[in-house]
């Protein structure tokens, strides 16, 4: 077990607040030293930062050491509810949660990492502050704060659903490519609305977007099983 993994386990098992806080900060520092599990978390260029960014799989702790926020199947009910309200595919939303589950979603660890890297993403859907603040406008959660995402998976799923809704509203009537609507929305979720429109008009996606789509395809059946209660 690597040092970063061990520190994460200690964060989850620590009982005394002082010890837990110290280990959490150490874990975040370790992540920074290790290259922040291969993720830049920088918002891509364009009118609105995307919630997620394409990266290699997180080399983190084994599933047995991870918490409930790290298994998207736990949020099947919220996914169905919010996807229906936003008019998007529950399977797409669940698959995106699986795509974004490459790192532990421990609230303390996320906040410690954000203190080191202020432009990092929060919550089980890995949403950046600017994307959340734009998406919440005029919605039922308009009074909520981005800082609440690590502790509120339901809010994170709701915001992701409406972000996908807004991306869908920006799709051209006749996309000039062979990608499905859900594939285009996944590209937009990962790379932002500017890239979504470019790909929808026929420009091939770049390596990062293709990698994100590959992971989406790999998680597609898994997402349906989670929605069916078999995840």
- Dump the DSSP string for 104-116: ---HHHHHHHHHH
Q: What mean pLDDT, rounded, does the chain reach?
A: 80
- Among positive and negative, which fits the CA dihedral 102, 218, 184, 72? negative
Each residue's pLDDT tens digit, 61-100:
334 456 778 899 999 999 999 999 999 999 999 999 999 9
Is the pLDDT assigned to residue 161 strictly greater than 70?
yes
Each residue's pLDDT tens digit, 173-200:
887 778 999 999 999 999 999 999 999 9
| Selected residue with higher pLDDT from 6 and 213 | 213
pLDDT at 191: 95
Domain borders along the chain are: 68-104+123-227
pLDDT at 7: 41
pTM higher than the cut 0.85: no
pLDDT at 49: 52
Each residue's pLDDT tens digit, 20-57:
444 444 444 444 444 333 333 333 333 345 676 533 33
Is the pLDDT assigned to residue 142 strictly greater than 50?
yes
Question: Region 125-151: what's the mean pLDDT?
Answer: 97
Q: pLDDT > 90: what percent of the chain?
A: 65
Judge residue 178's burial from the number of C-beta atoms within 10 Å of its C-beta, 0-12 exposed, 13-18 middle, 19 or more buried.
exposed
68-104+123-227 CATH fold: Lysozyme (1.10.530)
pLDDT at 176: 78
pLDDT at 51: 75
- Please name every residue paired with 127 in a beta bridge, in sequence order, or none if there are none: 122
pLDDT at 14: 44
For residue 86, what are the CA distances in angstroms to 93, 160, 169, 175, 205? 11, 10, 11, 21, 26
Q: How far apart are the first and last CA of the chain?
A: 26
Helix locations, the chain, DSSP H: 3-13, 17-33, 76-86, 90-99, 107-116, 129-135, 153-169, 181-191, 193-200, 207-227
Contact predicate 32/119, CB 8 Å: no
| Selected residue with higher pLDDT from 53 and 136 | 136
- Dump the DSSP string for 39-50: ---PPPSSSS--
pLDDT at 231: 62
């Amino acid at each position: 077990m690597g040092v970063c993994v061990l520190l994460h386990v200690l964060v989850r098992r620590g009982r005394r607040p002082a010890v837990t806080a110290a280990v959490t900060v150490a874990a975040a520092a370790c992540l920074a030293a290790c290259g922040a599990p291969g993720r830049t978390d920088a918002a891509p260029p364009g009118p609105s930062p995307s919630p997620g960014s394409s990266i290699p799989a997180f080399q983190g702790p084994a599933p047995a050491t991870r918490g409930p926020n790290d298994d998207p199947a736990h949020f099947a009910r919220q996914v169905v509810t919010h996807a229906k309200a936003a008019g998007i595919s529950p399977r797409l939303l669940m698959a995106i949660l699986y795509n974004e589950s490459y790192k532990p979603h421990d609230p303390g660890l996320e906040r410690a990492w954000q203190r080191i890297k202020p432009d990092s993403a929060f919550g089980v859907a890995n949403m950046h502050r600017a994307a959340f603040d734009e998406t919440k406008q005029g919605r039922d959660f308009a009074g909520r704060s981005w800082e609440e995402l690590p502790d509120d998976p339901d809010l994170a799923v709701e915001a992701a659903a409406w972000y996908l809704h807004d991306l869908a509203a920006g799709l051209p009537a006749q996309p000039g490519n062979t990608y499905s609507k859900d594939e285009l929305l996944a590209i937009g979720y990962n790379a932002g609305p500017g890239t979504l429109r470019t790909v929808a008009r026929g420009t091939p996606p770049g390596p990062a977007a293709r990698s994100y789509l590959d992971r989406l395809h790999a998680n597609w059946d898994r997402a349906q099983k989670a929605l069916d209660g078999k995840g």
